[in-house]
């Protein structure tokens, strides 16, 4: 779509109405994953490996099966490695199955090895103790650098793909290298080169709602699944494959979802509930405990990174090089390639080279976490930029502006950027009162830029009009942050009827075509685009009916402010015909009026942000306080600004947790040491200041209203911005996250 076709004057878009699900959510009425039950329902529980790496010699389920409260016990043998309709599970299907229920080996502390269904949740938990598992404990590795070392235990032979150079350890399963120019020549031109290494620990998405589902599967191969998920068509496809039934025979309904952030883009307990249900012939509900969530569901990758950047005295970057090693658990999938491609993306670089590794270790299978791979890379790169600015005495915003990518820049990952909004966010940062505000002794300021690609993905939307002129919109992307409000605003804008007259529903898999997961910041972009196009489709039908009533050609009718109107003086002299006048008798004038759109939109539009943060470090205790925080990010077009701000604020605060508190801590035994919220500490209200936001709008040419996704970019800059603030406050460069008080004290001590 050309830029000048795009709508820029809006009646509904950009306003801040109440969300349609608000009442249900403030009264306790909204149904989340664990909030359902069914007649005859059983409760499932899962037995998990206490070992980081062990061969499963034998599982004896006889005692559990004999217990009167137990109705089914399952192990890997109850899943389908070779389902009838998808012969031979391979690739990611096999990986997901192996993660859902261990096969020959338990690959991490918390890996599922068996499950039971019993008449109560307590009985199910008790019955797990009756299952006897004999393990042969194997050597394990949990650290990324150690997992790449020649003597590291091998997690799985043959998991590496085409990309891995010969001679690497079998735990290295993917290699990425890209860039352009001649970095050696570039470094030769530099007045100053800073080379440094950085480490980040794995963090968890930390959604407050644990995974929960209820499954029902009969011997006839037909099933029902209710679950909390970011993508119920994905759940349908994977569960059907894992239990060996046809995809269409499993109907999946998405519950209200209590947070996801990427962690609910796959299945864990859902195939288990279905397999238990098939064996017990009753519905089975499975709800994870918090400890299970930490031990067995998707943390992000941990990372070890080496960065080298050369700069001239005037701040021009002459060359940049990064090596990013990401550990993603006992399966391929750590986003080393994404880290490599995103880390230098904000800058206009003549010479750049980036290398990414995907490394396996004895930890849970990493899952996507908000701009997966990007935050850690930004932490390393933006820390080195900060150090260069400090050593050359240059202003960090000016240096970023001097090197910033803009329309026409050759991106570090190859192509030439179309219209992007990085410079606008930097200019807004420079002009923001926060950037000029004085700092007190002991305080430091940090800034960072961040980049994320954003995504489109398969999308289906149906819009049906009612006789009274109201509209129902069926979308297939679970609402994780207020998207129903955004969809209703976009539909209202196109149809010209009030926001309140539109009801948006998250359709189940049986009532709408396929939809990709709510991920990649794609919902407002892709489901929004599809909603707009479905509404336009319905308007075509409405115009046809009006034309027939007026007896004029359909191309002589146009749609304006919720009414059919003649397209010009030659079309005839008719009063505007409101939508409700057309729908009132639609059954008799041609039948129900609906609009549909199905496609894979391919114009998501990349996104940039700049964050400013002030931190104060207590030199006695090493404790860091965030004093002030400002998020500036390009939204393309903010459909419902409240929820755009909410995404900015939420991303920043998750970043604060990652930077200061949150980490997976493994013991020498390979067991996770901090699997509850008391020990894995996410930010609480008293840790934080207000989070200021600035919404920059540089419209995305790939969306009818200019939308760019906003969900993920907001977590990219905080790690680096906070590390820079803390380093400037403490007077010592912090190279490892999280910057816990002991690490800060140790750094201060090392610095003398």
Quick check: 519 binds another protein (CB under 8 A)? yes
Q: Residue 183: which H helix or E strand, with range?
A: helix 183-189
Give min distance, CB of 586 to another protein, in A.
33
Minimum CB distance to another protein smaller for 59 or for 173: 173
Interaction of residue 207 with another protein, rule CB under 8 A: yes
Q: Judged by CB under 8 A, which of 175, 187, 268, 705 binds another protein?
A: 175
Interface of this chain with another protein, residues 698 to 727, rule: CB under 8 A: 702, 712
Q: Shortest approach of another protein to residue 415 CB, angstroms?
A: 4
Smallest separation, CB 668 to another protein (Å): 25
Q: Is 661 helix (H, G, I), strand (E, B) or coil?
A: coil
Phi, psi of 292 (to 5 degrees): -65, -40
CB of residue 744 to another protein, shortest distance in Å: 22
The verdict on 646 binding another protein (CB under 8 A) reads: yes
Segment contacting another protein (CB under 8 A): 119-127, 182-190, 235-243, 572-580? Answer: 119-127
- Residue 15 touching another protein (CB under 8 A): no
Closest to another protein by CB, 531 or 713: 713
Report the distance separating Cα 160 and Cα 618, nearest Å: 46
Which helix (H) or strand (E) segment holds residue 64: the answer is helix 62-66
| Contact between residue 117 and residue 70 where contact means Cβ atoms under 8 Å apart | yes
Please report, for residues 38, 70, 82, 231, the alpha-carbon distance to residue 277 in angstroms, rounded to integers and kept in the order given: 12, 12, 20, 22
In the bound state with another protein, the residue whose beta carbon lies nearer, of 125 and 596, is 125
Question: Is the CB of residue 517 less than 8 Å from the CB of residue 230?
Answer: yes
Q: Which is nearer to another protein, 5 or 750 (CB)?
A: 5
Q: How many CA atoms lie within 13 A of 749 on its CB side?
A: 9
In angstroms, give the least distance from the CB of 729 to another protein: 21
Stretch that binds another protein, among 203-211, 378-386, 392-400, 570-578 (CB under 8 A): 203-211
User: Nearer to another protein by C-beta: 79 or 347?
Assistant: 347
Q: Nearest approach, Cβ of 2 to another protein (angstroms)?
A: 13
The Cα–Cα gap between 340 and 321 comes to 10
Residues 565 to 624 in contact with another protein, rule: CB under 8 A:
600, 602-604, 606
Residue closer to another protein (CB basis): 163 or 443: 163
- Which residue among 143, 209, 493, 616 contacts another protein (CB under 8 A)? 209
Residues in the interface with another protein (CB under 8 A) total 107
Among 341, 359, 612, 719, binds another protein (CB under 8 A): 341
Instruction: Decide whether 318 or 700 has the Cβ nearer to another protein.
Output: 700
Q: Distance between CA 211 and CA 287 in Å, rounded?
A: 6
Stretch touching another protein by CB under 8 A, among 98-106, 149-157, 177-185, 189-197: 177-185
CA neighbor of 379 nearest in space, from 443, 277, 295, 307? 307
CA proximity to 348, closest of 408, 393, 304, 265: 408
Of 645, 576, 641, 624, the closest CA to residue 723 belongs to: 624
Q: Binding to another protein by residue 185, rule CB under 8 A?
A: no
CA distance 257 to 34: 10
HEC profile for 633-658? EECCCCCCHHHHHHHHHHHHHHHHHH
Instruction: List C-alpha distances in Å: 671 to 40, 49, 141, 226, 532.
Output: 37, 10, 11, 32, 49
Which whole-number Å values give the CA distances from 509 to 223, 247, 595, in the listed order?
12, 10, 18
How far are the Cα atoms of 53, 151, 171, 367 from residue 154, in angstroms, in the given order?
Answer: 10, 9, 6, 21
CB of 743 to another protein, least distance (A): 23
Cβ count near 129 (within 10 Å)? 10
Query: Is position 8 an interface residue for another protein (rule: CB under 8 A)?
Result: no
Binding part of the chain for another protein, among 59-67, 307-315, 376-384, 644-652 by CB under 8 A, reads 644-652
Nearer to another protein, 484 or 733 (CB): 484
Q: Which stretch binds another protein (CB under 8 A): 18-26, 397-405, 532-540, 726-734?
A: 18-26
Does position 691 interact with another protein (CB under 8 A)? The reply is yes
Q: For residue 480, state whether it binds another protein (rule: CB under 8 A).
A: yes
Strands 577-578, 563-566: pairing kind:
antiparallel
Among 53, 105, 365, 522, binds another protein (CB under 8 A): 522
Q: Does 414 bind another protein (CB under 8 A)?
A: yes
List alpha helices for 506-636, DSSP H: 528-550, 579-583
Q: How far is the CB of 27 from another protein (least distance, A)?
A: 6
Instruction: Report, in Å, the least distance between residue 286 CB and another protein.
Output: 14
Please, which residue, 21 or 427, has the CB nearer to another protein?
21
Instruction: Specify the long-range contacts of residues 505-508, CB closer than 8 Å, at least 24 apart.
Output: 505/472, 505/473, 505/474, 505/475, 506/254, 506/475, 506/476, 506/477, 506/478, 506/479, 507/462, 507/474, 507/475, 507/476, 508/232, 508/251, 508/252, 508/253, 508/254
Long-range contacts formed by 673-676: CB under 8 A, 24+ apart: 674/294, 675/110, 675/290, 675/291, 675/294, 675/295, 676/290, 676/291, 676/294
Closest C-alpha to 14, from 596, 520, 697: 697
Whether residue 225 contacts residue 213, with contact meaning beta carbons closer than 8 Å, is answered with yes
Interface residue with another protein, options 614, 645, 662, 697 (CB under 8 A)? 645
Single out the residue of 682, 743, 746, 748 in contact with another protein (rule: CB under 8 A): 682
Helix axes of 718-730 and 374-392: crossing angle, nearest 10 degrees: 40
Which residue among 178, 247, 281, 470 contacts another protein (CB under 8 A)? 178
Q: Where are any strands of DSSP class E within 328-423?
A: 352-359
> Nearest approach, Cβ of 115 to another protein (angstroms)?
19
396 lies in the site for another protein, by CB under 8 A: no
User: Residues 280-319: x/- map of binding to another protein (CB under 8 A)?
Assistant: -------x-xx-----------------------------
Q: Is 670 in the site for another protein (CB under 8 A)?
A: no
| Footprint on residues 58-77 left by another protein (CB under 8 A) | none
Distance of closest approach, residue 588 Cβ to another protein, in angstroms? 37
- Give the whole-angstrom CA distance, residue 224 versus residue 221: 10
Check: CB of residue 363 under 8 Å from CB of residue 140. no
22-61 positions binding another protein, by CB under 8 A: 22-23, 25-32, 34-35, 37
Binding residues among 262-281 for another protein as defined by CB under 8 A: 262, 265
Interactions with another protein, residue window 726-745 (CB under 8 A): none
Closest alpha carbon to 265 in 301, 229, 293: 229
Please say which residue, 15 or 316, places its beta carbon nearer to another protein: 15
Contact between 643 and another protein per CB under 8 A: yes
**Under 8 Å between Cβ of 444 and 613:** no
Closer residue to another protein in complex, CB, 59/635:
635
Q: How far is the CB of 120 from another protein (least distance, A)?
A: 8
Indicate the residue among 457 and 595 with the shorter CB distance to another protein: 457
Neighbours of 505 (CB within 10 A): 16
The residue from 244, 258, 283, 450 that contacts another protein (CB under 8 A) is 258
List residues bridging with 256 in a β-sheet.
32
């Amino acid at each position: 779509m050309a830029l000048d076709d795009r709508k820029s004057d809006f009646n509904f878009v950009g306003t801040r109405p109440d969300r349609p699900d608000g009442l249900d959510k403030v009264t306790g009425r909204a149904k989340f994953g664990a909030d359902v039950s069914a007649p005859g329902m059983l409760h499932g529980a899962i037995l998990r490996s206490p070992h980081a790496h062990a061969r499963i010699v034998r599982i004896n389920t006889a005692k559990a099966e004999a217990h009167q409260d137990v109705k089914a016990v399952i192990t890997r043998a109850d899943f389908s490695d070779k389902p009838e309709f998808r012969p031979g599970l391979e690739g990611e299907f096999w990986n997901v199955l192996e993660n859902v229920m261990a096969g020959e080996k338990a690959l991490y502390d918390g890996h599922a090895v068996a499950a039971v269904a019993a008449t109560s949740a307590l009985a199910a938990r008790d019955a797990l103790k009756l299952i006897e598992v004999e393990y042969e404990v194997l050597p394990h590795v949990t650290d990324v650098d150690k997992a790449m070392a020649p003597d590291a235990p091998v997690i799985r032979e043959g998991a590496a793909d085409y990309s891995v150079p010969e001679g690497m350890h079998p735990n290295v399963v993917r290699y990425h290298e890209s860039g352009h120019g001649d970095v050696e020549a570039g470094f030769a031109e530099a007045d100053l080169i800073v080379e440094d290494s950085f480490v980040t620990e794995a963090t968890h998405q930390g959604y407050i709602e644990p995974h929960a589902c209820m499954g029902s599967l009969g011997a006839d191969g037909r099933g029902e699944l209710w679950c909390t998920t970011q993508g119920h068509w994905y759940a349908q496809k994977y569960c059907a494959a894992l239990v060996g039934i046809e995809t269409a025979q499993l109907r999946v309904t998405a519950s209200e979802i209590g947070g996801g952030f990427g962690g609910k883009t796959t299945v864990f307990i859902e195939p288990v509930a279905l397999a238990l249900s098939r064996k017990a012939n009753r519905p089975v509900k499975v709800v994870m405990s918090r400890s299970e969530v930490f031990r067995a569901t998707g943390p992000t990758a941990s990372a070890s990174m080496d960065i080298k950047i050369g700069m001239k005295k005037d701040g021009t970057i002459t060359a940049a090089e990064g090596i990013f090693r990401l550990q993603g658990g006992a399966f391929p999938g750590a986003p080393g390639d994404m880290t490599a491609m995103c880390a230098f993306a904000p800058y206009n670089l003549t010479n750049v080279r980036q290398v990414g590794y995907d490394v396996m270790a004895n930890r849970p299978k990493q899952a996507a976490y908000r701009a997966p791979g990007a935050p850690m890379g930004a932490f390393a790169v933006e820390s080195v930029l900060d150090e260069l600015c400090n050593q050359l005495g240059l202003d960090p915003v000016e240096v970023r502006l001097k090197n910033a990518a803009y329309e026409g820049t050759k991106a570090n990952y190859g192509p030439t950027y179309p219209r992007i909004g990085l410079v606008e966010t930097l200019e807004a940062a420079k002009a923001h009162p926060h950037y000029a505000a004085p700092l007190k002794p002991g305080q430091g300021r940090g800034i960072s830029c961040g980049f994320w690609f954003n995504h489109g993905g398969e999308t289906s939307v149906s819009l049906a009009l009612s006789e009274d002129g109201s509209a129902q919109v069926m979308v297939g992307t679970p609402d994780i942050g207020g998207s129903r409000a955004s969809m209703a605003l976009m539909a209202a804008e196109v149809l010209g009827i009030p926001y309140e007259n539109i009801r948006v529903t998250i359709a189940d898999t049986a009532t709408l075509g396929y939809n990709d997961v709510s991920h990649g910041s794609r919902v407002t972009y892709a489901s929004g685009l599809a909603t707009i196009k479905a509404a336009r489709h319905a308007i075509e039908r409405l115009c046809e009916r009006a034309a027939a009533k007026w007896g004029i050609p359909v191309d002589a009718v146009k749609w304006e402010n919720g009414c059919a109107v003649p397209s010009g003086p030659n079309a005839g002299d008719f009063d505007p015909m409101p939508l409700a006048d057309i729908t009132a008798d639609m059954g008799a004038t041609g039948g129900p009026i609906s609009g549909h759109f199905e496609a894979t939109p391919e114009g998501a539009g990349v996104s940039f942000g700049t964050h400013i943060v002030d931190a104060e470090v207590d030199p006695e205790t090493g404790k860091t306080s965030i004093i002030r925080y400002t998020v500036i990010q390009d939204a393309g077009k903010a459909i419902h600004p409240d929820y755009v701000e909410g995404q900015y604020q939420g991303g920043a605060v998750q970043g604060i947790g990652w930077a200061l508190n949150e980490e997976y801590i493994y013991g020498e035994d390979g067991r996770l040491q901090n699997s509850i919220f008391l020990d894995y500490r996410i930010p609480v209200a008293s840790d934080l200041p207000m989070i200021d936001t600035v919404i920059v709008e540089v419209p995305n040419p790939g969306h009818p209203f200019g939308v760019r996704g906003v969900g993920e970019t907001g977590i990219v800059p905080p790690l680096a911005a906070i590390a820079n603030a803390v380093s400037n406050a403490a007077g010592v460069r912090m190279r490892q996250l999280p910057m816990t008080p002991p690490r800060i004290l140790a750094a201060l001590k090392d610095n003398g």
